[in-house]
Structure 1
Amino acid sequence: MENQINRRTMLGAGAALAATASIASSSLAQAEPNSLSGQSVLITGCSSGFGYLTALHCARLGAKVVASMRNLPRPEADTLHMAAKDLDLHIVEIDVTDDISVTTGTEAAISLIGGAPDILINNAGLAIVGPLEAQDLDATRLIFETNVFGYQRMIRAILPGMRHRGSGHIVNMSSQSGRLIWPGLGHYCPTKFAVEAMSDTLAYEVADKGIDVTLIQPGGYPTAFWNNRETLTGALKKRSDPKHLNGYGAMSDNMGSGRVPQLTGDPMDVPEAIARSLVSPQGQRPHRVMVSASRHPQETINQTHRETHLNFLGRGPFGDAARKVHNS
């Protein structure tokens, strides 16, 4: 195991990052977060996008970061290693769709940290778009294995150590599409709806154990996510029987076309919002954080959900848990 950790682990550092973002959230202050010194963070899906940026941002704020990605060695790991020069940042291999990889990778992370991480950030995710009918079982299994089952694998691997210690913070990456349905997104919305529900369930169950659960709901930002989406969607379309594509017009025609939204927001909005939730006192961390360069169309749904759950659970055995989770 020691040789495996040495082969798959890289250290790095860099100058502190000074960046600000205008992020609307009723739960978060707009000031830059304080230091994460003394905190340990395990993040999945760090080869690009929000995972890559969040790993660097947390390390620059002083955290000991274990950044994970699949299929090591790979150029993206080298890029992260160079960007993290002199930071306390380590890279391990975790494929969240594989039980053995999750077990091996989390054991390596726990060994590096010296125990369960203070913070787990479930970030690894993907999209395969097009009509729901066109999503074959290979595509369906892949997106649920990554976006939902992958989160569950990581939670099961890390949560026992957090409970034993009596503290921890689990951050799950959701989306505006975890609240709102946009036709043509295949199973992306269903997987993110699942992340929302499983995060609520978990939050209520661990509210009395010193563990907080935070959902991040980003809007669209210009990252490699979109190019990866087109690659996976193009492969699906290529193997699809036309009977599952015909009749949907542009929804089918645009699958794998390479046309992605022209987005202008700063992707750093997301790691900065995550960091603000991380430095909030235990028990006062926001359960849902909206992050967007434009608007928050899910805001009313979030508020109604909160009020409904407080009323629904308020007088029952999970009333105290609901009030803790929703800071009521």
Structure 2
Amino acid sequence: MSSSMSPSRRQLLLGAGAAALAASSVAGAAAQSSSGAAMGLAGKSILITGSSSGFGRLGAEHYARLGAKVFATMRNLPRPEADELRTLAEEENLDITVIEIDITSDEQVEAGVAEAEAAAGGALDVLINNAGMAMSGPIEVQDLEATKLMFDTNVFGAQRMIRAALPAMRDAGRGQIFNVTSQLGRLIIPGLGQYSPTKFALEALSEQLAYETVDKGIEVTIIQPGGYPTEIWQNAAVNSADLKERSRDPLIAAYPQLTAGMGDSGNGGGNTDPMDIPRTIAEIIMMPTGQRPLRKAVHPVATPQVPINEVSAEQQLAMLGASGYGPWLRAVLKN
């Protein structure tokens, strides 16, 4: 298929599910173009994973204050974080519903998404795959227990959520999916175990999904945070200490520089503001259909992944731009 005959991203998105969109998409697009960012997020249904702390908790509050109907999900209910969020929602009259979802559980994912869709009256407008974990230590030290846990959380968890939410989105001919990766989904820091491998995998999953769903009215954005002071560092210290404890001494001794700090609590984010992430996501949600980026690097100082993102897009188009996949690639990568 030649590029001259290729539809634009907007055409692909607005052409998706024409029958399903006839009543709603045109009106929504007109309202968005007339009032732009002033609309806030009123009328949007947003489900976030990992809402007990960090980007997820801040995001739940932020999107609700902008008018969204928020489904804040977390595991192991009941828990104080859920009670605090419910109290805040009541005090500020925010539309926040807490739902129990452990993203490593097929059953909880299916039930939680179904509950949110029922409350939203149909397909979710936005799914934010935010939940994740980290664990330090060299690759050889990462036993299968650690490896399976990391992939089950950072990759398979997102896949479970995507597969649960996509059918209704496809039927509606609309939807947005955000996957929170990391700048370490493009670059490597030695000694961080399976963290980068899982984030690299989520990057690839997200980009492939974006190509495959762009003509169905669904947009995918990868959020690539740099270092931020969230609870992931404290949780990583606990998990890393457990891994070190069950590892054989000769294996730990084989990598002295990379195992000495396993289990030490640190702050990998310095004094950066974690609100950068929910603010960025909200801004992208409010962008016109067809203009949202595939990838967004977020950090006030360090964004070393940006040139990698640019080269990756160039080479992807060079490889497949002239093929039958070209229209999908150009529709996704042009922004």
TM-score by length of 1: 0.88
Q: For the residues of structure 2 that align with 1:45 and 1:102, how far apart are their CA atoms?
A: 12
User: Once structures 1 and 2 are overlaid, which stretch shifts more, 203-212 or 255-264?
Assistant: 255-264
Shift of 1:106: 1.1
Q: Report whether the alignment pairs 1:137 with 2:144.
A: yes
What does residue range 109-128 of structure 1 map to in structure 2 within 5 Å? 109-128=116-135
Q: Deviations over 1:127-178 (max 9, x none)?
A: 0111111111111111100000000000000001100100000000010000
Shift of 1:62: 0.5
Q: For the residues of structure 1 that align with 2:131 and 2:263, how far apart are their CA atoms?
A: 21
Q: For the residues of structure 1 that align with 2:251 and 2:328, how far apart are their CA atoms?
A: 45
Q: Which runs of 5+ in 1 are unaligned?
A: 1-30
Q: For the residues of structure 2 that align with 1:230 and 1:293, how far apart are their CA atoms?
A: 25
Give the one of 58, 63, 78 matched to 1:58: 63
Q: Who is 1:84 aligned against?
A: 89
- Percent identity over the alignment is 52
Letter in 2 for 1:76: E
Q: Who is 1:12 aligned against?
A: none
Shift of 1:34: 4.7
What does residue range 225-236 of structure 1 map to in structure 2 within 5 Å? 225-236=232-243
Q: 1:33 to 1:312 in 2, by over 3 A?
A: farther
Q: For the residues of structure 1 that align with 2:226 and 2:280, how far apart are their CA atoms?
A: 13
**Greater radius of gyration (CA):** 2
Q: Who is 1:43 aligned against?
A: 48
Q: Deviations over 1:99-126 (max 9, x none)?
A: 1111111111111111120100001100
Give the one of 89, 101, 105 matched to 1:98: 105
Q: Report whether the alignment pairs 1:74 with 2:92.
A: no
Give the one of 162, 165, 173 matched to 1:158: 165
More helix by share: 2
Give the one of 279, 286, 294 matched to 2:293: 286
SS at match of 2:97: strand
Q: Which runs of 5+ in 2 are unaligned?
A: 1-35
- C-alpha contact (below 8 Å) 1:43/1:122 kept by paired residues: yes
What does residue range 227-266 of structure 1 map to in structure 2 within 5 Å? 227-261=234-268, 263-266=270-273
- C-alpha contact (below 8 Å) 1:33/1:275 kept by paired residues: no
Q: Deviations over 1:190-232 (max 9, x none)?
A: 0000011001100000111110000000000111111011111
Shift of 1:33: 7.3
User: Once structures 1 and 2 are overlaid, which stretch shifts more, 120-129 or 311-320?
Assistant: 311-320
Letter in 2 for 1:70: R
SS at match of 2:272: coil
Letter in 2 for 1:73: P
Q: For the residues of structure 2 that align with 1:296 and 1:200, how far apart are their CA atoms?
A: 19
- C-alpha contact (below 8 Å) 2:175/2:218 kept by paired residues: yes
Q: For the residues of structure 2 that align with 1:167 and 1:262, how far apart are their CA atoms?
A: 35
Shift of 1:262: 5.9
Letter in 2 for 1:171: F
Q: For the residues of structure 2 that align with 1:34 and 1:269, how far apart are their CA atoms?
A: 20
Letter in 2 for 1:40: S
Q: Who is 1:323 aligned against?
A: 330
Q: For the residues of structure 1 that align with 2:154 and 2:99, how far apart are their CA atoms?
A: 19
TM-score by length of 2: 0.86
SS at match of 1:84: helix
